[in-house]
Copies of this chain bind each other. A is one copy, B any other.
Amino acid sequence: MKVKVSRKAHFNAAHRLYVPEWSFEKNDAIFGKCNNPNFHGHNYELIVSVTGEIDPVTGYVIDMKVLKDLIKSEIENAFDHKNLNVEVPEFKNVNPTAENISVVIWNKLRPHLADDKELEVVLYETPRNFVTYSG
């Protein structure tokens, strides 16, 4: 009896999308307004889902409070009210697209979960744009 347990979280951040090796013109052609050198930002909505067997005693797959605290310590504390390009080491050489941010989040959470649990990350960059990564 495998159940997927999902927890919604939130962080705000600034970022800029560009490839440092490219000219400004080429970055502008590909990334448009997202290439603004002065940065822009988003309210990122994050849904982290953990799939596994229900514990027959507690009725939990994972304690939501444990999951909530894990998201806070690993993701919100690292990303919230930050400039992703400037202050988050994972994006030193990685363009902080929604795709790449979702992979970074997945990689940061995965070691903290038991091996028999599956992990999925959904990241909303805006209410109309979002990505899903499952490893």
A contact residues vs B (CB 8 Å cutoff): 1-10, 12-15, 17, 19, 30, 32-34, 36, 38-43, 45, 49, 54, 57-61, 63-65, 80-83, 86-87, 94-100, 102-103, 126-133
Contact = CB atoms under 8 A, between A and B. Distances in A.
A85 to B, nearest CB: 9
A6 B131 contact: yes
A127 B8 contact: yes
B33 A97 contact: no
Nearest 10 pairs of A and B residues by beta carbon: A41-B41, A33-B81, A38-B83, A59-B97, A59-B95, A4-B132, A14-B14, A8-B128, A14-B41, A40-B81
B3 A80 contact: no
A60 B6 contact: no
B32 A132 contact: no
B6 A130 contact: yes
Nearest to A97: B59
Contacts of A9: 128
Contacts of A96: 59
A6 B58 contact: no
A2 to B, nearest CB: 8
Given A33-B81, A80-B33, A99-B54, A42 B39 contact: no
A81 to B, nearest CB: 4
